Amino acid sequence: MGKVYYVSKHVGLGLLVLAVTALVTIIALSIAYDKERAKNQDTLGDGAADGTTPVPTPFTPKEPWDRYRLPVSLVPVSYNVTLWPRLKPGADGMYFFTGKSAVVVRCVKETDLLIIHSNKLNLTSFNGHHAVLTGLGQATAPAIQNSWLVVKTEFLVIQLRSRLSVGASYVLYTEFKGELADDLEGFYRSEYTEDGVRKVVATSQMQATYARKTFPCFDEPAMKAVFNVTIIHDQDTVALSNGMEIGTADSVIDGVSVRVTTFEPTERMSTYLLAFIVSDFVNIKSTQNKNLIWARRKAIDSRQGDYALNVTGPILQFYEQYFNATYPLSKSDQIALPDFNAGAMENWGLVTYRETALLFDPIMSSTGNKETITTVVSHELAHMWFGNLVTLQWWNDLWLNEGFASYVEYLGADYAEPTWSIKDKIILSDVHKVFAVDALASSHPLSRREEEVNTPAQISEMFNTISYSKGAAVLRMLSEFLTEPVFTKGISSLAVFLLKFSQLFVCCQAVENTPGMHIPHTVHDIMNRWTLQMGFPVVTIDTRTGSITQKHFLLDPDSVLDRPSQFNYTWFVPIKWMKTGVEQQQHWLLQETVSGEDWVLANTNVAGYFRVNYDLDNWHRLLSLLNTNHQALSIINRAQIIDDAFNLARAKIINTTLALTTTKYLSKERDYIPWESALRNLDYYILIDRSNSFYRIFSNIPILRYNQNNAIGIACSMGVQGCGELIKSWYRQWMENPHHNPIHPNLKSTVYCSAIAFGGVEEWDFAWRMFKNATLASEASRLRSGMACTKAPWLLNRYLEYTLDPTKIRKQDATSTIHYIARNIVGMPLAWNFVRARWSYLFKQYGGRSFSFSGLINGITKRLSTEFELQELMKFKEDNLHVGFGSATMALEQAIEKTTANIKWVAENKAHVLKWFNDESK
């Protein structure tokens, strides 16, 4: 699954400060103007649930249907599935679908029980039973003794009068009816309005455990089978599925004129990758007709699909080379849906997207939108090989699937857009983001034991920042030290269809004995330390003594580690480094020592997943280098020095003043990534004092006087008034002539936010009208984020209420809207109160297994930093134990740990920080 994309964080910062001063406005504006490529990149992860609750020894229920895993006695071979979604409600007002399924199963272990997943389906009764069983070929099927549904484990259980024979095959036939709800899970309903007409789309999201809500199936990734799909639909609609359409026939069924579309049998595949869609969408295609982009007619007519189509060809080409294997399917459809919970989903041959992740308008979209589309498309297409063809055995290894796609998405995107330097972005979007989570004592290892991941909520919780971003960072490190040719050779030789992660490293071992390759241990031993224990090291280089040491990096040095590691939290660390501008031989920690008098920079190109600390002299040499000749270091190393320093300071390893000093060279910095790194870290300093007085000081520091070159910056440097006036006048012009928006797309996010923050109900209501009328999803998304910037509490409260009304805010956007409001300094307490008051409703309505829940918890608790708030947080946990926290369970534990650390940090650093800002602003 792709990541969930929220609006970029510097906008969040911008909005807080803008209202008070101009100088930070300049930053927000000029960065937005210069390099707005990051827009919408702040993913769920800041985000996602990471951490762990100690897992007790699993209790194994006696009855097989009370366990969450399927028994191993039967394997599916192929299915005939027919689905008929009704796009108009039935007599009782309910939207529904009907269907039938015949699955051929082979018996591999004698059994008199047939257990198959089925959830929220009403099954037709045949002679008092939920299914019909027949033998295939010579086999005769035993009679059914009894059949029943188990709601908790989502099983249909069929008890037979006698046993099935090993080696024989049987056909299990079911007919069923399910609700076509607007719940974004399984086969579901999406709605939109076109030319005043309300339209309904039937679409699907199976990952991770929703195929069973569509038809009875063996819903585990290793239970691969062939699917022969038939869809019955209205004659004025088109049906899509994973395979190529092989026939359509019009007919009358139950007195209704319908079209019956059949699809070629799929490749052998997992149920979580299935997709079924009925809509009146249209498409554009590439000249070879193999790649299609589908969307609402209006979007295709206004050419919003062109950009995605343009990059799809090159990206597929790139992966064919990368994997040394041709694209595995006969077609490639990609479709943009009005309602979709994740960012995108890699259904094999029919990839589904949020509209914001696929549709681009040359006039209205920003360069940041373009970057989002390229990286998301690249991520999903990587899965067509890795994930879909080669599939993980079970969800505990999810990190390999998502980490791999999250790493190579940058390579594919770079191939399609070689001028963007997009590969550098992994530093902000993955490495720094996951460092923040993985430095907590409540983090968890990349790899989990199979028995730790059982229930749907536990599976859902795997889709977190650790799996995606640490997975990406660690695989990138592996590729860097093995070198890319060796790494890709290892990957492309994976001729297996079901993978356990350990096999990957065995595989790489086979190719690592390349001439010239020096690795002190086996790939397996090296990688085990990065995957089986949580966290990462800080490497300390003392250039005076030449000593190099490592230590588990914990944000709060006083936190209690209740999870021991078999490796004692030590790592084999590949250290690329340079001395006075000269690249040195890769160094393996635990192997040798270095010494040096000149400046030393370790972790060049941020190739490794670790932080670096130096002796004070070397820190000062690096700081002076930054001030005199910052270009001697790569862009991402400049960003890394800032991020390392700020985090080392938070962990009390270096002095806060030293960290703040790393930002002084920024007045000369012209690149986006180091700035963004500094702004994200300074954003944390808002905790010092969540009142306006601090921003005034904050904004006066010289380091923030960045701008010079661009027109907006110059206009804004005239002062609070001038800058505010400029923004207001643009917005006013737009309000006077709603059909002509004078604001440059790359500046819209910042301008909307500021104008609404400066303005009142009139500005807000205008934004709301424009939001409801927007024809481009990313424009709607910018407005939705901008409306969270108002400083009027009553508007924010009203907006919070809107998130519970799907006719106002789509369900897919509800949690991210609350998250935006929580970023606003005025909105934070309101959002916090709102979520606490409505928890059980939100939880029920939006599904405890939805992974956007962990992002919600993270977002609303991010700035909690007082003892009182910590008490509230604990009480919230206690009060809702009966409702539960589902996939947000780990996120809640982390919130408690982070709040505790915040309280301590503020107490210890407030005086120093205020002094530094005061001194600098003199």
Ligand X SMILES: *[C@@H]1O[C@H](CO)[C@@H](O)[C@H](O)[C@H]1NC(C)=O
Enumerate the known binding-site residues for Zn(2+).
379, 383, 402
Tell me how far the alpha carbon of residue 350 is from its chain's centroid.
Answer: 19
Q: Respond yes or no: is residue 725 known to be catalytic.
A: no
The one-letter amino acid at 222: A
Among 55, 222, 223, 226, binds ligand X (CB under 6 A): 226
The reply on whether position 286 binds ligand X by CB under 6 A is no
Shortest Å, Cβ 890 to ligand X: 26
Half-sphere exposure of 94 (CA within 13 A, CB side): 9
Among 79, 155, 571, 768, binds ligand X (CB under 6 A): 79
Size of the site for ligand X (CB under 6 A): 29
Shortest Å, Cβ 410 to ligand X: 20
Among 228, 775, 866, 921, binds ligand X (CB under 6 A): 228
The reply on whether position 64 binds ligand X by CB under 6 A is no
The reply on whether position 912 binds ligand X by CB under 6 A is yes
Residue 546 DSSP label = T
Which of these ranges, 32-40, 302-310, 660-668, 826-834, lies near ligand X under the rule CB under 6 A? 302-310
The CA distances from residue 525 to 506, 519, 531, 532, 907, in Å, are: 10, 11, 10, 10, 42
Nearest to ligand X of 120, 354 (CB atom): 120
How far apart, in whole angstroms, are the C-alpha atoms of residue 529 and residue 609? 12
Segment 640 to 669, residues that bind ligand X, using CB under 6 A:
655-657
Shortest Å, Cβ 730 to ligand X: 25
- CB atoms < 10 A from the CB of 195, how many? 7
Shortest Å, Cβ 377 to ligand X: 13
Which of these ranges, 507-515, 566-574, 591-599, 895-903, lies near ligand X under the rule CB under 6 A? 566-574
Nearest to ligand X of 362, 793 (CB atom): 362
Segment 322 to 341, residues that bind ligand X, using CB under 6 A:
324
Which of these ranges, 175-183, 605-613, 639-647, 725-733, lies near ligand X under the rule CB under 6 A? 175-183
Segment 844 to 903, residues that bind ligand X, using CB under 6 A:
none
Among 55, 64, 65, 80, binds ligand X (CB under 6 A): 80
Encoded one letter per residue, x for contact with ligand X by CB under 6 A and - for no contact, window 116-135 reads ------x-------------
**SS3 state of residue 98:** strand
Shortest Å, Cβ 898 to ligand X: 21
Among 57, 288, 419, 568, binds ligand X (CB under 6 A): 568
Nearest to ligand X of 122, 921 (CB atom): 122
What residue has token string 């006013």?
A: 732
Shortest Å, Cβ 360 to ligand X: 6
Enumerate the known binding-site residues. 379, 383, 402
Shortest Å, Cβ 897 to ligand X: 22
Signed CA dihedral, 107, 111, 113, 116: sign only: negative
E strands within 512-553?
537-542, 547-552
**Residue 254 — φ and ψ, nearest 5°?**
50, 40
The reply on whether position 78 binds ligand X by CB under 6 A is yes
Judge contact between 96 and 213, C-beta under 8 A. no
How far apart, in whole angstroms, are the C-alpha atoms of residue 154 and residue 139? 29
How far apart, in whole angstroms, are the C-alpha atoms of residue 755 and residue 713? 16
Of 446, 324, 341, 467, which is closest to residue 401 (Cα–Cα)? 467
The reply on whether position 307 binds ligand X by CB under 6 A is yes
Residue of 36, 179, 264, 380 with catalytic role: 380
Can you give the three-state secondary structure of 622-641, one letter per residue? HHHHHHHHHHHCCHHHHHHH
Among 126, 497, 567, 802, binds ligand X (CB under 6 A): 567
Nearest to ligand X of 325, 883 (CB atom): 325
Of 402, 542, 547, 528, which is closest to residue 473 (Cα–Cα)? 402
Half-sphere exposure of 867 (CA within 13 A, CB side): 2
- Which residues have a Cβ under 8 Å from the Cβ of 919 and sit 6 or more positions away? none
Give, to the nearest 10 degrees, the angle between helix 692-700 and helix 23-34.
70
How far apart, in whole angstroms, are the C-alpha atoms of residue 496 and residue 500? 10
Judge contact between 648 and 614, C-beta under 8 A. no
The reply on whether position 444 binds ligand X by CB under 6 A is no
Shortest Å, Cβ 729 to ligand X: 31
Segment 505 to 534, residues that bind ligand X, using CB under 6 A:
none
The reply on whether position 595 binds ligand X by CB under 6 A is no
E strands within 546-670?
547-552, 574-575, 577-579, 582-583, 587-588, 600-602, 611-614
- Which residues have a Cβ under 8 Å from the Cβ of 356 and sit 6 or more positions away? 5, 40, 369, 372, 777, 778, 781
The reply on whether position 178 binds ligand X by CB under 6 A is yes
Nearest to ligand X of 196, 515 (CB atom): 515
How far apart, in whole angstroms, are the C-alpha atoms of residue 305 and residue 310? 9
Shortest Å, Cβ 497 to ligand X: 16
Q: Look up residue 567 and give its two tokens.
A: 């490796």
Give strand pairing partners of 193: 198
Nearest to ligand X of 45, 490 (CB atom): 490
How far apart, in whole angstroms, are the C-alpha atoms of residue 522 and residue 507? 11
Judge contact between 803 and 769, C-beta under 8 A. no
Segment 349 to 408, residues that bind ligand X, using CB under 6 A:
360, 362
User: Count of residues for the chain?
Assistant: 922
Nearest to ligand X of 260, 743 (CB atom): 260
Nearest to ligand X of 284, 714 (CB atom): 284
Among 179, 183, 676, 893, binds ligand X (CB under 6 A): 179
The reply on whether position 714 binds ligand X by CB under 6 A is no
Of 540, 508, 500, which is closest to residue 398 (Cα–Cα)? 500
Nearest to ligand X of 433, 489 (CB atom): 489
Shortest Å, Cβ 687 to ligand X: 16
Positions touching ligand X (CB under 6 A) are 78-80, 96, 102, 104, 122, 171, 177-179, 226, 228, 265, 306-307, 310, 324, 360, 362, 489, 492, 567-568, 570, 655-657, 912
Task: Give catalytic residue positions.
Answer: 380
